[in-house]
Structure 1
Amino acid sequence: MADTGRRLLIIERAYRGSVETQFADVLYFVRELNRQQGGMDILLRGLAVTFAAAHPAPVPALRIAGRRLDTLPDPRETIRTLVSEGAGVWAQDSALAEFETGPDWLQKGVRRASDATFPDWAGYLSVHFL
């Protein structure tokens, strides 16, 4: 699963950003690392597997002091972009079991990760938990 020299990033929390960090959520950071490091594998676990859902969910706007804020990140769109930019994106089987509603639930290009065999820690240059 891993190529020599690739790094593995593991994301477990489905935190999509906040008003203060709306332009730089965790997936923005991952996208930049993928660009700078020449390729990453991302393992989504826990609630973060919902980032890989194929069907777009509306990104709700917030109303703060009468102002509408609709610029928060869309993690599902960022996953699509990461796949198109060559990142390997995996979703953990046990977490998928809690959310998956059918065979087309995962986005194209996102692969299932067996709890028993993935990740191959030794096959990565480094492993980071985000």
Structure 2
Amino acid sequence: MADRQNPAPEQAQVLAIVERAYRGALEKQFVDSLYLAAELNRQLGGMDILLRGQAVTYAARDARMPSLRLGKRVVDTLTDPRADVRSLLGLGLRVYAEESDLIAYGLDGEGRLLDGVQPIPADEAAARWSDYRVVCFL
């Protein structure tokens, strides 16, 4: 129960679903879905993120971003979505990852996810949609 000293976390107004993983290759110049989420969170009064599909790999604790080799050129300036997820968590966003997709990508199990990312069954995630003013796909 919330009180003045320990208020309950505010209910986010928006649920943003990210299900298409995007590596952030050379054509990314200014924005991707996770960068956009931080700005939308600020403008829309709170946001939760639901990672689904291949996007659950954004929450993998031990993943590393390899360099990209194009002929003799090596590009090592690609963005790391795990760093972006950590930033969102640092801003106070709740980040969920659907359990069935975590299993599909071998990320089910203790210590496989970034601290703060919460696994959630798909049916529970869908049942929560009506708790939000807006549900959107990023």
Partner in structure 2 of residue 124 of structure 1: 132
- The alignment partner of 2:123 has SS state of coil
Partner in structure 1 of residue 4 of structure 2: none
1:30 aligned partner, one-letter code: A
Partner in structure 1 of residue 119 of structure 2: 112
Q: Which protein has the larger Cα radius of gyration, Structure 1 or Structure 2?
A: 2
Q: Distance in 2 between matches of 1:37 and 1:16?
A: 26
2:94 aligned partner, one-letter code: G
Partner in structure 2 of residue 76 of structure 1: 82
| Equivalences, count | 128
Larger relative CO (CA 8 A, sep 6+): 1 or 2? 1
The alpha carbon displacement at 1:68 in A equals: 2.8
Q: TM-score, normalised by structure 1?
A: 0.86
The alpha carbon displacement at 1:22 in A equals: 4.4
Q: Deviations over 1:56-108 (max 9, x none)?
A: x2212223364332221100111111111111100001101112253110111
Q: TM-score, normalised by structure 2?
A: 0.82
Unaligned runs of 5+ in 1: none
| Sequence identity (%) | 47
Q: Distance in 2 between matches of 1:47 and 1:29?
A: 18
Alpha-carbon contact 1:42-1:88 (below 8 Å) kept? yes
Q: Distance in 1 between matches of 2:137 and 2:44?
A: 16
Change (3 A) 1:12 1:52: same
